[in-house]
Amino acid sequence: MPTAMIEYSRFAVYYAPEPGPLADFAAAWLGWDPVAAAPVAHPDLPGLPIPLEAITATPRKYGFHGTLKPPFRLSGSRAALEADLAALAARTAPAEMPGLEPGRIGTFLALTPTGDTAPLAALAAACVRDLDPHRAPLTEADLARRRKARLTPRQEEHLTRWGYPYVMEDFRFHLTLSGKLSPEAAGATIDALRPVLAPLLPVPFRIDALCLFGEAEDGRFHLLHRYALTG
């Protein structure tokens, strides 16, 4: 079904790689291609401690991405959001870092940027701040769910002000590769991934577009449009 005909319950602004080897592998790794809006067969990767279907079950529905503005319900029209997102992209410069590296963030695996991430943090802050008028307020159920994570006072302020606790000073850009894994399973998965990822990771790593994603009725996210950063 064409994306224009699908009703989306939430929207988000993400980084997603341009079409190419990394995007292809990542879609297969997670089992979901947000560009084609279709499942993808997992690769046969030796050395994994548990089935890849289980490793990637949690992040699969989002597609391979790095969050810039977390998912939110619209307060107004999609057209108004798209107009402001296009304007933001037009006045914003790309962010560039030396590269990406795989590793653990708490209990899950992700790619994280190397080098100075200040320009990236500023880009994410602008997305959160400038597009916030389009975000509908959180429900009490949303707030209660987020507060189960034992937020710090500053994260609680972010939650009530911006609708998500891990923004601004608490933002850490990452491209999720797995759900929760034991330390042993995480180590084995990284060992299996490193030689496959090494030739695919961009050098330098450059964010030169803002990607609008939408959550469809089945809970899976689709890439709706890519806005080039031209500021």
Determine the angle formed by the axes of helices 140-147 and 153-162, rounding to 10 degrees: 160
Enumerate domains of the chain plus CATH numbers: 6-228 (3.90.1140.10)
Q: How far apart are the first and last CA of the chain?
A: 34
133, 161 contact by CB (below 8 A)? no
Q: For residue 178, what are the contacts with CB-CB under 8 A and spacing of at least 6?
A: 55, 56, 58, 59, 108, 109, 110, 186, 189
Residue 3 confidence (pLDDT)? 52
Structure confidence by residue, pLDDT tens digits, 170-200: 999 999 999 999 999 999 999 999 999 999 9
> Which residues of the chain have a pLDDT value below 70?
1-4
DSSP state of 135: B
pLDDT score at 153? 94
pLDDT of residue 1: 46
